[in-house]
């Protein structure tokens, strides 16, 4: 009995010693991770601050925001990279912003969208938007192949134009293992195309035979970012802004399903390579699953209403940080090398999207 008691006390002392040793090791590990990533994260935060300052100047001089912080952060990152490429000290934090924090932002973005709102006008408009997104994806993919654009960039252009611009590109890129150079070049050209739409729609609005409802729907079907949709739809007056935002929401709802399909297709096309590398294929990225869960939770009123705005702000802030990090990874020369095929694919894709949207509106309204 005494022997058993001694054994128990010895095991307890060993366990306590192990626990006492593990706590400092855990704290040291946390400190190492923070110090390892902190320089790059601070650099991305500084670039985000520059983007915010530039946006304020833009609004002051122009009276409205044409280029959002997302695009300005990307441009600022590219400029910093062109002046001096960040060395190994900055790289871990830059990767954390462009990967981990971005994925968290995508998950939180799901709380901004409600499935109920998409069905508020009936199922047929949603079906029409889904069909338009599918058409644009296929059409853009065909155009990209004809222009000789690499498949990853073709798919990124297709997702960006068809769904929601930068957010769709950033969400789809990891599912097809796109390179940072491809992502950056695609975002640069897609942002330019989106800016053309935002500026062009109000200019041609007086010449289009569209009322406020169809005009707002056209803005929602073609323009990328939510604030840009509101700006473009306002030219049509009436309740154009409301219908435009609603249609835009329907397009965003396609982000999850499209990324899931891309993940499955990529896993199947690269099954042999993945098995050869002894790694199991990731059929659906965790952040897309999280995005869908958050969207369902919002629709079921599980998320308190007062948390929606902070979650949306956090998602947007993390995405801007990721854009700054992405800009730091882009060699501007690679953008120019990809110029002509990417420019033609982007242009024809937008033209096809606009024509298909006009046809859909003529059929449905």
**Residue written as tokens 């029409």?**
128
Higher pLDDT, 231 or 36: 36
> 276 falls in which pLDDT band (50, 70, 90)?
very low
Structure token digits, residue 128:
């029409």
- Residue 19, in any domain of the structure: no
Tokens representing residue 94 in the block: 């830059």
**Residue 119, φ and ψ in degrees, nearest 5:** -95, 5
In a domain, 16, yes or no: no
On whether residue 252 sits in a domain, the answer given is yes
Please give the pLDDT value at position 285: 64
The pLDDT mean for the chain works out to 79
Q: What is the rounded average pLDDT of the residues 264-281? A: 59
pLDDT digits (tens, 9 = 90+) for 38-55: 889 999 999 999 999 988
In a domain, residue 235? The reply is: yes
Least confident of 25-39, 209-223, 253-267: 25-39
**pLDDT single digits (tens) 282-292:** 445 677 778 78
| Contact present, 77 and 258 (Cβ < 8 Å) | no
Question: Given a cut of 70, is residue 260 above it in pLDDT?
Answer: yes
| Segment 1-23, tens digit of pLDDT | 545 454 545 555 554 545 555 56
211 in a domain, yes or no? yes
Q: Average pLDDT, stretch 342-347?
A: 88
150: pLDDT strictly greater than 80: yes
Across 221-249, average pLDDT: 75
The answer to whether position 5 is within a domain reads: no
Residue 180 lies in a domain: yes
Instruction: Look at the chain and report how many structural domains it folds into.
Output: 1
Highest-confidence range of 29-33, 54-58, 184-188, by mean pLDDT? 54-58
Asked if residue 25 belongs to a domain, the reply is: no
Which residues have a Cβ under 8 Å from the Cβ of 311 and sit 6 or more positions away?
Answer: 108, 111, 112, 303
The yes-or-no verdict on residue 280 having pLDDT over 50 is: no
Confidence at residue 227, expressed as pLDDT on a 0 to 100 scale = 58
Question: Distance between CA 307 and CA 96 in Å, rounded?
Answer: 25
In the predicted structure, residue 61 carries a pLDDT above the cut 50: yes
In this structure, the number of other CB atoms found within 10 A of the CB of residue 102 comes to 24
Query: How far is it, in rounded angstroms, from Cα 90 to Cα 38?
Result: 8
Domain that holds residue 182: 40-270+282-364
Burial zone of 238 (CB within 10 Å; 0-12 exposed, 13-18 middle, 19+ buried) = middle
């Amino acid at each position: 009995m005494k022997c058993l008691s001694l054994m128990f006390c010895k095991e307890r002392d060993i366990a306590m010693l192990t626990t006492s040793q593990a706590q400092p090791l855990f704290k040291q590990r946390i400190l190492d991770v923070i110090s390892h990533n902190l320089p790059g994260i601070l650099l991305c935060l500084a670039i985000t601050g520059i983007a915010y300052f530039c946006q304020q100047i833009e609004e002051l001089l122009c009276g409205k925001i044409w280029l959002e912080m997302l695009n300005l952060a990307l441009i600022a990152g590219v400029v910093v990279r062109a002046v001096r490429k960040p060395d190994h000290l900055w790289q871990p934090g830059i990767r954390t912003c462009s990967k981990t924090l971005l994925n968290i932002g995508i998950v939180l973005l799901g709380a901004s969208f409600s499935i109920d709102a998409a069905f508020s006008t009936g199922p047929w408009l949603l079906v029409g938007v889904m069909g338009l997104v599918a058409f644009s994806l296929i059409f853009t993919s065909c155009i990209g192949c004809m222009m000789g654009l690499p498949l990853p960039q073709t798919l990124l252009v297709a997702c960006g134009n068809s769904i929601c611009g930068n957010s769709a590109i950033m969400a789809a890129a990891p599912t097809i293992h796109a390179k940072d150079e491809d992502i950056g070049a695609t975002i640069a050209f897609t942002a330019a195309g989106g800016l053309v739409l935002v500026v062009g729609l109000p200019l041609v609005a007086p010449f289009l035979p569209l009322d406020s409802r169809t005009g707002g729907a056209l803005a929602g079907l073609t323009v990328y970012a939510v604030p840009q949709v509101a700006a473009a739809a306002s030219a049509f007056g009436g309740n154009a802004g409301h219908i435009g935002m609603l249609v835009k929401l329907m397009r965003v709802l396609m982000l999850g399903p499209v990324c899931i399909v891309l993940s499955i297709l990529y896993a199947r096309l690269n099954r042999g390579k993945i098995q050869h590398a002894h790694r199991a294929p990731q059929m659906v990225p965790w952040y897309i699953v999280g995005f869908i869960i958050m969207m369902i939770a919002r629709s079921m009123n599980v998320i308190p209403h007062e948390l929606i705005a902070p979650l949306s702000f956090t998602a947007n802030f993390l995405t801007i940080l990721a854009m700054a990090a992405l800009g730091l990874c882009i060699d501007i020369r690679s953008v120019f090398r990809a110029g002509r095929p990417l420019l033609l694919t982007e242009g024809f894709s937008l033209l096809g999207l606009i024509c298909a949207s006009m046809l859909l509106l003529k059929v449905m309204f």
